[in-house]
Chains A and B, each alone.
Chain A
């Protein structure tokens, strides 16, 4: 019975794959508490559309913000190159895609296969590729300067862009304030109630893959070099690292993901590439989110983006606006929102510079550290509760006691 054997063989193979995948999952995700938490968050985000889609556009927006914040964090939190002008990548990405669509039409027919596809499938990768070139061109001179100089320089670049885009001489190309119209991603679902859900899942998928790529980059050898530049540039140079090359690399990767979020924002939410994308707000948004979540982690900006968007789009309009409307102050609402966020950011930076997500991740990392077998597990915990308690007290008291010197010498030898 060759067929049966073959079937059994393939079944064994599939089972082997599944077992390997499962053990891989357990080893790489389940046993690492921060990753487990991230995985649970991802599951929760995947399940959200089942509970009713009133706030789905808000979550889509949060996903886009999260990509932007994560890309900013890679440049600033990992490599230490202060960028106050991430709006440059955000806006330029959207504008390149829009310009290509403006010049070549919104759909394109592939010559050999005779299939017509929407052009944005090609313009977005093209705009990302152009962004890499632009980031290197701008980065080469910009990364020569350091610290505050770099921050101010990057603050100015999006302003230059916004002035160029608004210039009336070039209004035939950029169409001034109203901007260039771009096709929506899911315009074929117009009027369909499923559209919000599809858009949300699309944004979440893009966020997931960008986050994974940024995480991989940040934890790879390259990422360690980035952190070495952040810690001490001179020492990194002394170790034979080509600092400029790695700075440019960080600039380019960060720019690509910034541009990606800009493209998605233009194609998914705005429907236009407008000079508004170069506004300073888009440079501060990732900063606020990253400081909210925690600088220098991948979890920080993502969590920060969701928390910020939740506060900004849900809590403020639902709780603050009615109160202000009651007092007849609703026209001040937008301004008060800005002031509240500004105060929140200042207090966070001064009092809690580590951010929310980073504190939680540190706690979780602490859980993952190897301990004595007695400390693990609920059953053993019950059994040894008493001893553990004593142990804890002993730990506390041991702070007041001087350690005997012999033990230290033992450890050394």
Chain B
């Protein structure tokens, strides 16, 4: 029982962490709370579905994955320039605009693919492995490895490359970064593209193992993603990694403790989030409350 909870919690946390990474990166750099994050994840999986399913386009699954990521990157850049950029700096407007985009994407998806569950094709078929008496699928181990390595890559990118350092500067002080000759607008778009690419990879890793995608996915995704990001502190990459494991474990423990949990298990991340916010209003690793606000 305990070993099962430990192993399943790690896997759950790993698959959730990548979803939160793009969100926290975008908030950290451009102070945009992207409520359409879950919708972008869903859209990327649907694009993959359209590209790879034999009776629609029937491409090779690996090619479909890459093409879906490219399409999503372009879509993210266009979406950012058209909708988010004009209202940058206004928290309420950004939230309303992005959540409206989420609703629009959901309606679009239902319009083209219908509201039913859709089966996905997996590019690789792998079996199960027994770890300490718990049967775990290989693909979830791959998910864990990929998300952890992407975390490491993003951390390296932020800390070691020139663009990453520019992003850090931008997150600290926009005007000072502009004075240092950083093209902030281009950097914002770049961050958005990075965030969207990360979320589409997260979407594939989240949906392909269960081979299922449905239009209601985006709301459940956004809830767990925001729970993670808020527990860890908005804009903190370290925080989101730790937050995802906290949420993953809380979820797994409740699901394993009592079979009657059912739909109430889905409020566990929210309850954890509320509890953390009560103790620390800016999350575990969030910055202290600034005096200007």
Q: Would A284 and B103 be within 8 Å (CB), given that A141-B277, A151-B33, A164-B264 are in contact?
A: yes
- Chain B residues contacting A332 (CB-CB under 8 Å) are 111
- Which of A5-13, A122-130, A334-342 touches B? A334-342
Cross-chain contact of B277 among A153, A155, A159, A287 (Cβ < 8 A): A153
Could you tell me if A233 and B271 are in contact, using CB atoms closer than 8 angstroms?
no
Per-residue CB contact flags for chain B residues 49-77 toward chain A (1 = under 8 Å, else 0) read 00000000000000000000000000000
Could you tell me if A342 and B103 are in contact, using CB atoms closer than 8 angstroms?
yes
Could you tell me if A349 and B87 are in contact, using CB atoms closer than 8 angstroms?
yes
Per-residue CB contact flags for chain A residues 333-361 toward chain B (1 = under 8 Å, else 0) read 00110110011011001100100000000
Q: Would A82 and B92 be within 8 Å (CB), given that A339-B108, A350-B87 are in contact?
A: yes
- Chain A residues contacting B227 (CB-CB under 8 Å) are 156
Tally the A-B contacts, defined by beta carbons under 8 Å: 119
Min C-beta distance of A355 to chain B, whole Å? 12
When chains A and B are docked, how far (Å) is the Cα of A284 from the Cα of B100? Answer: 9
Cross-chain contact of B223 among A156, A169, A284, A350 (Cβ < 8 A): A156
**For the complex, is A145 an interface residue (Cβ under 8 Å from B)?**
yes
Per-residue CB contact flags for chain A residues 141-180 toward chain B (1 = under 8 Å, else 0) read 1001111110111011001100110111100000000000
Cross-chain contact of B293 among A146, A166, A168, A346 (Cβ < 8 A): A146
Interface size on A, residues (CB 8 A): 42
When chains A and B are docked, how far (Å) is the Cα of A338 from the Cα of B102? Answer: 11
**For the complex, is B267 an interface residue (Cβ under 8 Å from A)?**
yes
Contact count band on B: 35 or more
- Chain A residues contacting B257 (CB-CB under 8 Å) are none
Q: Would A234 and B281 be within 8 Å (CB), given that A156-B223, A342-B104 are in contact?
A: no
When chains A and B are docked, how far (Å) is the Cα of A148 from the Cα of B293? Answer: 12
Could you tell me if B273 and A144 are in contact, using CB atoms closer than 8 angstroms?
no
Could you tell me if A233 and B263 are in contact, using CB atoms closer than 8 angstroms?
no
Per-residue CB contact flags for chain B residues 212-232 toward chain A (1 = under 8 Å, else 0) read 000000010001001100100
**For the complex, is B278 an interface residue (Cβ under 8 Å from A)?**
yes
Q: Would A163 and B83 be within 8 Å (CB), given that A234-B292, A338-B104 are in contact?
A: no
**For the complex, is B282 an interface residue (Cβ under 8 Å from A)?**
yes
Could you tell me if B263 and A346 are in contact, using CB atoms closer than 8 angstroms?
no
- Chain A residues contacting B106 (CB-CB under 8 Å) are 338
- Chain A residues contacting B99 (CB-CB under 8 Å) are 84, 284
Could you tell me if B219 and A280 are in contact, using CB atoms closer than 8 angstroms?
yes
Min C-beta distance of B135 to chain A, whole Å? 28
**For the complex, is B107 an interface residue (Cβ under 8 Å from A)?**
yes
Could you tell me if B103 and A338 are in contact, using CB atoms closer than 8 angstroms?
yes
Could you tell me if A149 and B281 are in contact, using CB atoms closer than 8 angstroms?
yes
Per-residue CB contact flags for chain B residues 244-276 toward chain A (1 = under 8 Å, else 0) read 000000000000000010111011001101100
Could you tell me if B86 and A350 are in contact, using CB atoms closer than 8 angstroms?
yes
Min C-beta distance of B219 to chain A, whole Å? 7
Q: Would A163 and B96 be within 8 Å (CB), given that A141-B274, A146-B289, A233-B293 are in contact?
A: no
**For the complex, is A265 an interface residue (Cβ under 8 Å from B)?**
no
- Chain A residues contacting B175 (CB-CB under 8 Å) are none
- Chain A residues contacting B108 (CB-CB under 8 Å) are 335, 339
Could you tell me if B267 and A82 are in contact, using CB atoms closer than 8 angstroms?
no
Could you tell me if B93 and A353 are in contact, using CB atoms closer than 8 angstroms?
yes
**For the complex, is A257 an interface residue (Cβ under 8 Å from B)?**
no
**For the complex, is A291 an interface residue (Cβ under 8 Å from B)?**
yes
Min C-beta distance of B119 to chain A, whole Å? 22
Min C-beta distance of A84 to chain B, whole Å? 7
**For the complex, is A305 an interface residue (Cβ under 8 Å from B)?**
no
Min C-beta distance of A228 to chain B, whole Å? 15
- Chain A residues contacting B177 (CB-CB under 8 Å) are none
Could you tell me if B91 and A149 are in contact, using CB atoms closer than 8 angstroms?
no
**For the complex, is B291 an interface residue (Cβ under 8 Å from A)?**
yes
Residue of A nearest to B90 (CB): A353
Min C-beta distance of B255 to chain A, whole Å? 14
**For the complex, is A248 an interface residue (Cβ under 8 Å from B)?**
no
**For the complex, is B170 an interface residue (Cβ under 8 Å from A)?**
no
**For the complex, is B148 an interface residue (Cβ under 8 Å from A)?**
no
Q: List 17 A-B contacts (CB under 8 A).
A: A145-B282, A146-B289, A147-B91, A148-B27, A149-B230, A149-B277, A151-B95, A152-B230, A156-B223, A164-B267, A284-B99, A335-B108, A335-B110, A342-B101, A342-B104, A346-B101, A349-B96
Known: A82-B92, A146-B293, A338-B106. 20 other contacts (CB 8 A): A141-B274, A145-B277, A146-B289, A148-B95, A149-B230, A149-B234, A152-B226, A156-B227, A156-B270, A168-B262, A168-B263, A234-B291, A234-B292, A336-B107, A338-B103, A339-B111, A342-B100, A349-B87, A350-B97, A353-B93
Kindly list the 7 A-B residue pairs having the minimum CB-CB distance in the complex, ordered from nearest.
A342-B104, A338-B107, A335-B111, A335-B107, A148-B33, A156-B270, A350-B86
What residues make up the interface of B, taking CB atoms closer than 8 Å to A?
27, 33, 83, 86-87, 91-93, 95-97, 99-101, 103-104, 106-108, 110-111, 219, 223, 226-227, 230, 234, 260, 262-264, 266-267, 270-271, 273-274, 277-278, 281-283, 289, 291-293
What residues make up the interface of A, taking CB atoms closer than 8 Å to B?
76, 82, 84, 141, 144-149, 151-153, 155-156, 159-160, 163-164, 166-169, 233-234, 280, 284, 287, 291, 295, 332, 335-336, 338-339, 342-343, 345-346, 349-350, 353
